[in-house]
Structure 1
Amino acid sequence: MIKRLHSISMNTLPELFNTRILKVKPESIHFTPESVIDGTLPTISHPQTEAFLLEAAKIIRDTDQTVAFPTETVYGLGGSALNDEAVKNIYKAKNRPSDNPLITHVSSINQLNRKIFNRDTKVHMQNIPEIYHPLIEKLWPGPLTILLPIPPSEKNSLSKLTTANQPTFAVRIPSNPVARALIALSDTPIAAPSANASTRPSPTLASHVYHDLNSRIPLILDGGACKVGVESTVVDGLVDPPMLLRPGGFTYEDIIKLGGPKWANCKVEHRKNVTANEKVRTPGMKYKHYSPSAKVLLMLPDEKKVNKLDSFGQIFQRELTKDSTERNEAPKKIAILTTRYLDALQPDLLKEFNNEIEYIVQSLGHRGEDIQANLFAALRKVDEIDKVDLIFVEGINEEDEGLAVMNRLEKAAAGNYILF
């Protein structure tokens, strides 16, 4: 049952709820290998998990409200992709611009055919262009989003609000069992951006969702930490050459390797910004994203400089002075998130610059997949819990997971980057 505190009369604001966090066990949910095609429902061995999923599925299927749930990438905020009012409530809860398109999540290709194309066909891949078939066969379910043509109007049941009035829509099948079970049990395609307040770092824990959306949504399914840590990879196979629009859970190298000959010349969307009136085909291109409240400075290793620690020390002192001037006082807390060269930094070594400041030095890891998984959680920790005034983050090379990591860091830093 949805527990509302009270309604707000202004149409631009969401209703207020007594937001509940329901703990579920992902390991109790099991799908057959064939279910990604035929839509066979999962078996759930933990009764409470099943009850919570059915409660959340009822909200998705039978109301205009939203539910937050874990995916393998980040936590999503979901509502029925077939229901205009539900999609409006997603935008309201996040305070998200309505011209920022949403990804639709389905539990199987069978559900995609029945619910979006309104065609229950035995030729399962009939509605998916052939260029995507090699990727889908290897990477679905998983963090891969593809762009498809919107069905003809007489067949289309997808809310236009998910597409920002464009001729394509974005869709994927998540591999997280909680996400997939929620979609399957509701038998409803779910439109779901990340479950954070717009512009904030994406949530990888249920507590992150609660921090941003408490009282704005009825419930949060808590399935533990997200494994991938950044959003899905978005590709467009409807153009020639095909495009990687957003780096994410699968790398560019994965797409080239697994996509077959037609993806050999895949291009990467490198634009940092788009014009105010320009329509975008994928989330994350147009507006401020992934930003903590504290200012973020992205530190990029300069291979020409031998002693990175000395170089960083000089830059750190300069930026400390600059920040103190801008705020008319010295920062009280500074966080430094490291990946490689700055791992040797110790808080005590930084006291020489200002011994009245508290310094937090935290490693994001050394492998690309570890850095990717830890990134948003670390940004949120130093910002929301440690409440630092300034965040330095050490960047990495833009290869493999590095492309997605740097995509998020460049947006979080809003163009504030320095070579060291």
Structure 2
Amino acid sequence: METKIFNSNEIEQAVKHLEAGELIAFPTETVYGLGADATNAVAVAKVYEAKGRPSDNPLIVTVADEAMMAQYALEIPLKAQQLIDAYWPGPLTILLNVKPNTLPTVVTGGLKTAAFRNPADELTRQLIEKLGRPIVGPSANTSTKPSPTTANHVYHDLRGKIAGIVDGGTTEIGLESTIVDLTVDPAVILRPGQITPAEISAVIGETTDYNHNQVGAKEVPKAPGMKYRHYAPKAQVVVVDRVADFAQIDFTDPTVALVALAEVIAKYSTPNSFSLGESVATAAHNLFAALRFFDDQPNIKTIYVQGFKAGEIAPAYMNRLNKSAAGKHFNV
């Protein structure tokens, strides 16, 4: 299969592929997603095949607007409406109960819930509006690999496996959306993202915290990112929690790479480094790009990445980094 790159003037062509049951990758403000008609079970099954994704991992349902979501959600409770008014379109995914027999089980994982997302990217909203139906939207990468933040990242992973990619440039945020479960009381955050617990709490008027429960081996997770290893390049990723510990690492070793803020990289002479920028916010934006950069270098065996404790987006950054490293930290 030839994988085509579509620009902003070629949305209609991309829609025709979706109507034909084919896969189209699309941009969002977070990362690139892999789209298929969410009402077409055969098309959605191709998403799992293209990504190599476990079949018990539910998919986000990406909608053009609240009205489209209302066709599938059993109800839109007050908390959901408050968050929609505050953050849609934007990097917030809302887990709701769904109307029976409206979405295929291949989308929901057989659960009675679905995660709905209305992205801020105008090209993608146009794509969904013209299709007239929601599309699924997992990250457009090979399963377990770092999520894509450019069309080239998608092409690298899925060339020949999908019909096309809508090129919207580099994504703005670089980490996937916050997922909040509104089917439980109190609401709980299933996946951290740019929108923080404090921000959600302020909108819905109750304390909201992260989910701390582990998903069992035979249990279907409610949302993506809760059960399986994610974001991992071929090399071993190691989290370095203290900046001083970088001094213990031999960066003259050609198999070792350094991923950190610019001020940290400036202290070391190494041919293998990738700057995360100037702050935890830029680090979150650049993390996946950094991991992908070294994934294309077969000589790199270990990637030492700076960890962060402070900063509003630090929990989301560390969530992705810890999954990438499979929990491996330096000197721990």
Q: TM-score, normalised by structure 2?
A: 0.94
1:120 corresponding residue in structure 2: none
SS at match of 1:193: coil
Which residue of structure 2 lines up, in the alignment, with residue 58 of structure 1? 16
Number of aligned residue pairs: 332
Q: State how far apart, in whole Å, the 1-side matches of 2:6 and 2:237 are.
A: 33
CA contact (8 A) 2:262 2:276 kept: no
Separation of aligned partners in 1, 2:159 and 2:89? 30
1:394 to 306, 319, 325: 306
Which residue is equivalent to 1:71? 28
Q: Which has the larger radius of gyration?
A: 1
User: Displacement of 1:138 after TM fit?
Assistant: 1.0
What is the DSSP-based 3-state SS (H/G/I as helix, E as strand, rest coil) of the residue aligned with 1:347?
coil
- The unaligned stretches of length 5 or more in structure 2 are none
8 Å CA contact 2:263–2:278 kept in 1: the answer is no
Distance 1:205 1:212, change over 3 A: same
- Number of the residue aligned with 2:76: 128
Deviation at 1:297, TM superposition (A): 0.6
Question: Which position in structure 2 is the counterpart of 1:9?
Answer: none
Q: Indicate if the aligned counterparts of 1:331 and 1:389 stay in contact, CA closer than 8 A.
A: no
Does the 8 Å CA contact 1:82/1:189 hold for their aligned counterparts? yes
- The one-letter code of the counterpart of 2:315 is L
The residue identity in structure 1 corresponding to 2:76 is: I
Matched, 1:337 2:259: yes
Q: Contact 2:141 / 2:157 at 8 angstroms: preserved in 1? A: yes
Per-residue displacement from partner, 1:293-315 (whole Å, max 9, x unpaired)?
A: 111111112xxxxxx44x4323x
Q: Which residue of 2 aligns with 1:83?
A: 40
Residues 162-217 of structure 1 show CA distances to partners (whole Å, capped at 9, x for unaligned) of: 11011111101111111111111111100110000000000000110011001000
Give 1:221's match in structure 2, choosing from 166, 189, 201. 166
Q: Deviations over 1:296-355 (max 9, x none)?
A: 111112xxxxxx44x4323x25xx8xxxxxxxxx9633211113773442226xxxxxxx
Mapping of 1:297-312 within 5 angstroms?
Answer: 297-301=238-242, 308-309=243-244, 311-312=245-246
Q: Secondary structure at the match of 1:220?
A: strand
Equivalent residue, structure 1, for 2:2 = 18
RMSD value, Cα: 2.0
CA distance in 1, matches of 2:22, 2:28: 19
Amino acid at match of 1:282: A
Cα deviation 1:65-101 (Å, max 9, x = unaligned): 1101111110000001101001101000001001001
2:129 corresponds to 1:166: no
Alignment partner for residue 361 of structure 1, among 264, 273, 294? Answer: 273
1:234 aligns with 2:179: yes
Q: Deviations over 1:101-136 (max 9, x none)?
A: 10001101222234x36xxxxxxxx93111122211
Matched, 1:313 2:247: yes
CA contact (8 A) 1:146 1:172 kept: yes
Q: Deviations over 1:393-415 (max 9, x none)?
A: 01011541101000000000011
CA contact (8 A) 1:331 1:390 kept: no
Query: Sequence identity of aligned pairs in percent?
Result: 40
Q: Which runs of 5+ in 1 are unaligned?
A: 1-16, 25-48, 118-125, 302-307, 321-329, 349-358
Q: Whole-Å Cα distance in 2 between the matches of residues 376 and 386 of structure 1?
A: 17
Q: Which amino acid aligns with 2:75?
A: N
Q: Distance in 1 between matches of 2:62 and 2:287?
A: 24
Change (3 A) 1:129 1:201: same
Of 144, 149, 169, 2:92 maps to 144
Query: Equivalent residue of 2:47, what SS?
Result: helix
Deviation at residue 385 of structure 1 after TM alignment: 5.1
Match of 1:5?
none
User: Deviation at 1:387?
Assistant: 5.3
8 A Cα contact 1:68 1:221, kept in partner: yes
TM-score by length of 1: 0.75
In 2, are the aligned partners of 1:346 and 1:361 still within 8 Å (CA)?
no
- Tell me, in whole angstroms, the C-alpha distance in 2 between the residues paired with 1:419 and 1:334: 16
SS of aligned partner of 1:282: coil
